[in-house]
Structures are given as C-alpha cells and as structure tokens.
C-alpha cells in the first residue's frame, strides 16, 4: 500500500513539475511577445520623427535594419531587452545628431562671417553681435523646420515649443563665434548677459503656455 502511495506521489510530483514549467514557459513567451510589441511600437514612433535631414544618418549606416534585426532577435530569445533598447536609442541619437550638428554649424558659420565685418567701436560691435545672434537663431530654426516638414508627425513643422528651443539654441550658436569680440568689449558682454536673461525669462513663459 505504501509503495502504491509513494509511486502515486512521485507521479503527481513529476506532473506538477511539468505543469509549473509549462506555465512559466508560456508566461515568459507572452511577456516576450508583449515586450516585442512595445519595442516595435517605439521603433515605429522613432521612424515617424525621421525628417528630410535627420533620416540621412541612419540610412547611411543602416541603423534601421540593425534595429529590425535586434527586435527579431529579442523575440527569438537571442537578445535581451536591454540590448534591444540600446539599438533603438542609438537610432534616436543618430537621428538627433544628423540635424542638430549641421544646423548648429550653419548658424555658427553664418554668424562668424557677419562677425568679420565688425569694427573697433562699441556701437558697431553691438550691432554685429545682435545681427549674428539673430542670424544664428533664424537659420537654425529654419533648418529644423525644414527637417520636421519631412516627418510624419502632424503639426510638428511649426511646433511653437520647438521653434523657441531652436531659436534659443541658434542664438547661442550665433554668439559663440563672437567670443573674442565680447571679451574685448566688457560693456557689450554685460549687455548680452542681461539680454540673455530677458530672453530666457520670455522663453519660459512661452514654453509654459505651449506644454
């Protein structure tokens, strides 16, 4: 009798083991599929942000295909979630750099050309500095708008918050080439700092209204 009970207990134990194992295998497969859907949705959202210029970097190096492969490998259990996400973050970083770097360089280069026309008097220096900053702000904002016109996000081309951010960033790029000019004219530097504080305060108000 005891042998029969022991054999039955053993059989039930083995059956329970496989039942539990199958449960967790199924659960892990479901979780992996859910994670995979999230990865794909995130990647599709990233691709919607591809503009005329910002899409070029990933196209040149083939990062998009690497992301697709990473997502497929994650579903197949060949790649963990963290490494798959890292691939997608790389895509996003390249996407951002592809427009941010050339637009900043264009703003700084245009300002540097204007700065070369400055003369020694403070009135001329102030005018040149202001013109360089405005040129940088306009050029960067315009290039970023052009890039966003190529993406698939509705209303993103003339997004007010992004226009303000690009304008401020472009202003900084426009002022940077004039560092020597500002260093040689302390009065002008003080004016730029006061003006910068006023711009920052106004930008915060605008950004607060556009959230």
**Is residue 108 located within the same domain as residue 39?**
no
Residue 172 Cα distances to 33, 120, 176, angstroms: 45, 22, 6
pLDDT tens for residues 80-89?
A: 888 988 999 9
Same structural domain for residues 132 and 43? no
Half-sphere exposure of 1 (CA within 13 A, CB side): 0
**Domain final position from 62, 92, 122:** 92
Let me know: does 170 contact 137? Beta carbons within 8 Å. Answer: yes
Residues 114 and 194 in one domain: yes
User: Are residues 181 and 125 in contact, defined by beta-carbon separation less than 8 angstroms?
Assistant: yes
- Where does a domain end: 76, 92, 108? 92
Q: Give residue 171's domain range.
A: 99-209
Question: What one-character DSSP code corresponds to residue 165?
Answer: H
pLDDT digits (tens, 9 = 90+) for 114-169: 766 655 555 566 667 777 778 888 899 999 999 999 999 988 988 888 888 888 88
pTM as predicted: 0.69
Judgement on whether residues 163 and 75 belong to the same structural domain of the protein: no
Which of 70, 92, 114 finishes a domain?
92
Total number of domains in the chain? 2
CB distance 97 to 54 below 8 Å: no
* pLDDT tens-digit map of 154-211: 889 888 888 888 888 888 777 776 665 555 555 554 445 555 555 556 555 655 654 4
For the CA atoms of 100, 103, 107, 110, the dihedral, rounded to the nearest 10 degrees, stands at 150
The CA-atom distances, in angstroms, between 204 and each of 116, 123, 171 are: 32, 30, 16
């Amino acid at each position: 009798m005891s042998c029969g009970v022991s054999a039955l207990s053993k059989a039930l134990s083995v059956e329970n083991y496989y039942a539990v194992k199958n449960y967790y295998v199924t659960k892990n497969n479901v979780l992996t599929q859910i994670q995979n859907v999230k990865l794909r949705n995130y990647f599709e959202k990233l691709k919607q942000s591809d503009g005329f210029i910002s899409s070029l970097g990933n196209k040149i190096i083939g990062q998009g295909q690497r992301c697709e492969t990473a997502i497929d490998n994650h579903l197949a259990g060949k790649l963990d979630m963290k490494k798959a996400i890292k691939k997608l973050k790389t895509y996003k970083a390249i996407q951002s750099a592809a427009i941010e770097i050339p637009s900043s360089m264009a703003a700084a280069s245009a300002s540097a050309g204007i700065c070369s026309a400055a003369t020694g008097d403070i009135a001329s220096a102030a005018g040149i500095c202001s013109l360089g900053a405005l040129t940088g702000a306009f050029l960067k904002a315009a290039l970023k708008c052009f890039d966003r016109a190529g993406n698939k996000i509705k209303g993103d081309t003339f997004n007010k918050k992004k226009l303000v951010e690009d304008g401020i960033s472009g202003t900084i790029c426009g002022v940077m080439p004039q560092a020597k000019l500002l260093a040689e004219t302390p009065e002008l530097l003080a004016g730029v700092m006061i003006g910068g504080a006023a711009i920052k305060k106004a930008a915060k108000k605008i950004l607060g209204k556009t959230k």
